[in-house]
Copies of this chain bind each other. A is one copy, B any other.
Amino acid sequence: MTTLEITTQSITDMEVRAHDGHHASLRLWLRLLSCATRIEDTIRQRLREQFGITLPRFDLMAQLEREPEGLSMSELSRRMMVTGGNVTSIVDQLEKEALVKRQMLLTDRRSFTIKLTAEGRSVFTAMAKAHEAWIVELLSPLGASQQEDLHHLLGILKSRKHNPTQEKT
């Protein structure tokens, strides 16, 4: 992409080389972002059209699906990386649709456990199946070994922690 052409004038050869590397990184980033966004938008749209659900609600249900014992609000907040108030509203909506339930805790009356309802579990299973098929379809331009390569490269990229709230150097 040429979205971000540099406007610097009169630079040396070394700087040119550095800028070339910079531009390569930029192009890579724009391509990465574009791939991810396009797939995400497709998923988002299909989830809404076919199941009347949003991605955050789907994600919250996915968190619960893998934890049959349920999760507390604060744990959901931590895992979904959003603040508590937002979890409250997402859980409210899902509870209104009887897809999840709040369960009192005997040990701590401030807290409770969020679980999928039976219906929530069954609905989620259907959604997850469709979701998985969409992903397979959308990634299909890449063969299996290419997907492995990509997985590996992204693993390296992911390995370095980005902690924007704390990192300073």
Q: Is the CB of B7 within 8 A of A125?
A: yes
Within 8 A of B (CB), among A30-71: 31-42, 45-46, 59, 62-63, 65-66
Residue ranges of A at the interface with B (Cβ–Cβ < 8 Å): 2-7, 21-29, 31-42, 45-46, 59, 62-63, 65-66, 121, 125, 128-129, 131-133, 135-136, 138-142, 144, 146-151, 153-160, 162, 164
Q: Is the CB of A131 within 8 A of B162?
A: no
Known A-B contacts A7-B125, A29-B135, A148-B24; A141 and B160 likewise in contact (beta carbons under 8 Å)? yes
**A18, chain B: closest CB distance, angstroms:** 9
Partner of A28, one of B23, B129, B150: B150
Known A-B contacts A25-B135, A29-B139; A153 and B150 likewise in contact (beta carbons under 8 Å)? yes
Task: Give chain A's interface secondary structure class.
Answer: helix
Known A-B contacts A5-B66, A29-B39; A157 and B142 likewise in contact (beta carbons under 8 Å)? yes
**A22, chain B: closest CB distance, angstroms:** 5
Q: Is the CB of B142 within 8 A of A156?
A: yes
Q: Is the CB of B162 within 8 A of A42?
A: yes
Partner of A159, one of B132, B141, B158, B162: B141
Q: Is the CB of B4 within 8 A of A151?
A: no
Nearest first, the 3 closest Cβ-Cβ pairs linking A and B are: A36-B36, A141-B160, A42-B164
CA distance A121 to B6 in the complex (A): 11
CA distance A39 to B28 in the complex (A): 12
> 16 A-B pairs, CB-CB below 8 angstroms?
A5-B65, A5-B66, A7-B125, A22-B133, A24-B144, A26-B132, A27-B151, A28-B151, A29-B39, A32-B150, A35-B36, A36-B36, A38-B162, A45-B164, A141-B159, A142-B156
